[in-house]
Structure 1
Amino acid sequence: MDEKRHIVHIDLDSFFVSVERLHDKSLEGKPVLIGGSSQRGVVASCSYEARKYGVHSAMPMKKALQLCPHATVIGGNYSSYSKASAHVTQIIKDSVPLFEKTSIDEFYIDLTGMDKFYGCYQIASELRQAVIKETGLPISFGLSSNKTVSKIATGQAKPSGQLFVEHGMEKQFLAPLSVSKIPMVGEKSCEVLYSIGIHKIGDLQVQDVKNLERHFGKMGLVMWNKANGIDNSPVSPYHERKSISSENTFQKDVLDVAGIEQLMISMLEQLTFKLRNENKVSSCLAVKIRYSDFETATQQISIPPTHSDILIIPELKKLFEKAYQKGRAVRLIGVRLSNLSEGSYQPGLFDNHERNENLYKALDKLNSRFGTKTVSRAATFGISSREFNPFIRD
């Protein structure tokens, strides 16, 4: 007989907002939006107070402010979010034998077999309380026999709650919920399901799989399995991320090549600041350009392992020149640093390594305390980090 699985899904509630509230208590109980403040900026995260007005992540900031005009808008501070995420990750790492980190604020934990020694629900409950106590961040979890049901259970437990779906009760738990609650079932799929009379997960549970496959192809069976609480996907052991990136969508399509280059340098400054903050180096640089007709061009190059923007900027300029088609209006630009590893870069024979490192330590200290653009190059002066949207989270 197969051993019963016990899978926990953990999600930090309104993570970016919650981190901001740790630093500014006046934000408590107020509608808060994190993201770009421009006309074409988007909401990266929002508080539950803002969600009451219909605001959600990935919504254009302009629309969000129409729905909730009295909301406080914050550009966001990746350094703070990264530190908070690392703190939570370490607590989980020290507490459980196997976990998977799927995003900056979301985890799966496999407690299978632990019930022989200690109740799995009690283990998860104590872990949640430890995170709350040590970080001050609200957190929710769902516990069940698999990833899908546990993730949905977490959503039902929010905000700041916990829920255990016992073995054999998966279908009964899922049946009354909207099909939109199923992970990976997006708006378009929901529209198709609604059009054929399927609104609740219970409706989906009793459908003929062949009928679903006529509308969704192979995804039809996947949806049916999830609706019936069937998910055998494993919890993959956690590995550190291998890339970081930043993208910016312009308010209006632009032709100002010099301005685009300045902005990309500013984005690179912020990414290398994150690398130094996490004691990492990168050995691959990539740039991305999306034109007004949505055609996208990318270029990348290997670089010596480094966290120094001084060394990367010349390569960034070369890549941009290679990727950009002169005379075309640009809608979006992006910079990515990948092949990340722990440690500091190996200085070249003629590098003024010690001086550069001391300078970075001083600059990073100021930027960590007062914001990531407190001190920057003269070439990027006046470029606001509020326009960057490197992440979108619920």
Structure 2
Amino acid sequence: MEATYQKRSRVIFHVDCNSFFASCEIARDPSLKGKAVVVAGDPKERKGVVLAANYIAKQRFGIYTTMPLWEAKKRCPQLVVLKPDFHLYREISEKVFQFLATFTPVLERASIDEGYLDITDCYSLGSPLDIAEQIQKELLQMLHIPVSIGIAPNKFLAKMASNMKKPLGITVLRKRDVPKVLWPLPVQEMHGIGDKTAKKLNSIGIFTIGELAKAEKVTLQNLLGITGVRLKEWANGIDPRPVDPESGEKWKSIGSSTTLPRNVTEERILLEVLRDLAQSVSNRMKQKGVVSSTVQIMIRYSNFQTITRSKTWENPFQEAEEIFQRAVYLLKRHWNGNPVRLLGITAVDVFDKKEAVKQLDLFHFEEEAKKESLWNTIERLQQKFGNSIIQRGSELFRDKSGDNGKSL
């Protein structure tokens, strides 16, 4: 690796906190060390769902995320079950990244518990292995948080490397190692490929990362669009993306507002405007892969007086209907009835969808899955046939009765 420094090629770390939520709980209460620990949505209910598990729970008892809590307790009667404390997790996450920033300013937060560091210019601190060992040792001593670190010439390989040894692993993955180390693996084990994409690739005879690496570019593009081309590059160990320190700060909030053609006092019309704004915000959140727990509305009256009001809900959201319902709640609570000139909706403090762990019991978990399937179907129909292909009954009634409210 010292030779890598001398050649001045990139050296990228991917630092991944191991079983982060459970590790945070153990850091707060050291008496939990050596015990099987899970974080669950509703520990008092038999129908609760496991949201996170430490490695003792995973490796010794086979407990995994989304497992019904009653089954986890059956596998491990001594299981320690804790309610999630997202304030604690974000506080410790901030401390982790503050520490990592002491090594290099070229630091990118990928989520609450993982990030990339470009240490190409940090040769004065020692070899990459020395630096990785120092990071791992000091995070464990200071914050009691175990991390695995992948060392590679690019972000994709660093991410793959950090997954190879957990907990407390340090793995070096060079581009020349790709055919031997990565190509034999099934495609679903590759970063960036989920179950749906894996099934699509399987449908055309691609089952391993090696087969993906050798597949025809045109075939992949026809199947997956530009994503297929990018995945082929990654499978060959190619990833030119830089570590971007601003990437985690770019989408702190996502909003949409509109000035109305005339001053409006009819609640019905204001609700229609909110619905359109909610759809716009939802679409942009999905494009960025983020969710939020806080909705803010802005109301500007005809006299230009402007107010903003917000509320934070327990569970994160992304769907237009959820954003709309929350905005309606705020409008009904804070609109004083005076003529409105402008309306706006903003999803505040957005964060990566991967962080969105809902405190759901098993039945709500199933209900959410059904909703997501319905929303995805509606979205596909609207993309293919236009937004008007599916309308609420009230909208159809207004169209037939000649109500011109939709002209807004």
**Counterpart among 326, 330, 334 of residue 318 in structure 1:** 330
Partners in 1 of 2:349 and 2:96 — Cα distance? 23
Change (3 A) 1:29 1:94: same
Which position in structure 2 is the counterpart of 1:234? Answer: 242
Which position in structure 1 is the counterpart of 2:221? Answer: 213
For the residue of structure 2 that corresponds to 1:157, the secondary structure is coil
Which position in structure 1 is the counterpart of 2:157? Answer: 149
For the residue of structure 2 that corresponds to 1:97, the secondary structure is coil
Task: Write the letter of the residue equivalent to 1:85.
Answer: S
Which position in structure 1 is the counterpart of 2:343? Answer: none
Deviating more after overlay: 10-19 vs 179-188: 179-188
Say if 1:141 and 1:153, in contact at 8 Å, map to a contact too. Answer: yes
Partners in 2 of 1:138 and 1:103 — Cα distance? 16
Partners in 2 of 1:148 and 1:127 — Cα distance? 20
Which position in structure 1 is the counterpart of 2:323? Answer: 298
Change (3 A) 1:339 1:222: closer
Which position in structure 2 is the counterpart of 1:19? Answer: 24
Partners in 1 of 2:309 and 2:116 — Cα distance? 29
| Structure 1 position 284, deviation (Å) | 6.3
Identical-pair percentage: 28
**Counterpart among 14, 35, 40 of residue 9 in structure 1:** 14
The runs of 5 or more residues in structure 1 that have no matched partner are 245-269, 272-282, 302-314, 323-334, 341-384, 389-394
Say if 2:175 and 2:237, in contact at 8 Å, map to a contact too. Answer: no
Question: Under a length normalisation based on structure 2, what TM-score does the superposition of the two structures give?
Answer: 0.58
Task: Write the letter of the residue equivalent to 2:233.
Answer: N
Partners in 2 of 1:32 and 1:289 — Cα distance? 23
Task: Write the letter of the residue equivalent to 1:17.
Answer: A
Question: Under a length normalisation based on structure 1, what TM-score does the superposition of the two structures give?
Answer: 0.60
Change (3 A) 1:218 1:91: same
Which position in structure 2 is the counterpart of 1:65? Answer: 72
State whether structure 2 residue 146 is matched by structure 1 residue 129: no
Task: Write the letter of the residue equivalent to 1:201.
Answer: I
Change (3 A) 1:117 1:125: closer
State whether structure 2 residue 108 is matched by structure 1 residue 96: no
Q: How does 1:1-394 map to 2 (within 5 A)?
A: 3-37=8-42, 42-52=49-59, 53-57=61-65, 59=66, 61-62=68-69, 65=72, 68=75, 70=77, 71-115=79-123, 118-238=126-246, 242=252, 285=310, 296-299=321-324, 317-319=329-331, 337-338=348-349
Partners in 1 of 2:103 and 2:236 — Cα distance? 31
Task: Write the letter of the residue equivalent to 1:11.
Answer: D
Partners in 2 of 1:63 and 1:215 — Cα distance? 41
Task: Write the letter of the residue equivalent to 1:112.
Answer: T
Which position in structure 2 is the counterpart of 1:310? Answer: none
Which position in structure 2 is the counterpart of 1:258? Answer: none
Partners in 2 of 1:296 and 1:83 — Cα distance? 31
Say if 1:286 and 1:300, in contact at 8 Å, map to a contact too. Answer: no
| Structure 1 position 80, deviation (Å) | 2.0
| Structure 1 position 121, deviation (Å) | 2.6
Change (3 A) 1:211 1:339: closer
Task: Write the letter of the residue equivalent to 2:17.
Answer: L
How many equivalent pairs are there?
A: 280
Partners in 2 of 1:66 and 1:220 — Cα distance? 42
The runs of 5 or more residues in structure 2 that have no matched partner are 1-6, 255-292, 295-307, 335-345, 352-357, 362-408
Say if 1:289 and 1:296, in contact at 8 Å, map to a contact too. Answer: no
Say if 1:299 and 1:319, in contact at 8 Å, map to a contact too. Answer: no
Partners in 2 of 1:155 and 1:55 — Cα distance? 19
Partners in 2 of 1:205 and 1:182 — Cα distance? 12
Partners in 1 of 2:312 and 2:138 — Cα distance? 41
Q: Any idea what the Cα deviations from partners look like across 1:208-242, whole Å, max 9, x if unmatched?
A: 22222333232221111111111111111155583
Say if 2:12 and 2:158, in contact at 8 Å, map to a contact too. Answer: yes
| Structure 1 position 181, deviation (Å) | 2.2
Structure with the higher fraction of residues in helix conformation: 2
Partners in 2 of 1:287 and 1:25 — Cα distance? 31
CA RMSD after TM alignment: 3.9
For the residue of structure 1 that corresponds to 2:164, the secondary structure is helix
For the residue of structure 2 that corresponds to 1:285, the secondary structure is strand
Change (3 A) 1:155 1:67: farther
| Structure 1 position 127, deviation (Å) | 1.9
Say if 2:149 and 2:170, in contact at 8 Å, map to a contact too. Answer: yes
Task: Write the letter of the residue equivalent to 1:222.
Answer: R
Q: Any idea what the Cα deviations from partners look like across 1:345-365, whole Å, max 9, x if unmatched?
A: xxxxxxxxxxxxxxxxxxxxx
| Structure 1 position 289, deviation (Å) | 12
| Structure 1 position 337, deviation (Å) | 4.2
Q: Any idea what the Cα deviations from partners look like across 1:121-147, whole Å, max 9, x if unmatched?
A: 322222222212211111110010111
Q: Any idea what the Cα deviations from partners look like across 1:30-71, whole Å, max 9, x if unmatched?
A: 3322131257754332122333455433x2545863874633
Change (3 A) 1:226 1:166: closer
Task: Write the letter of the residue equivalent to 2:19.
Answer: S
Which has more radius of gyration? 2
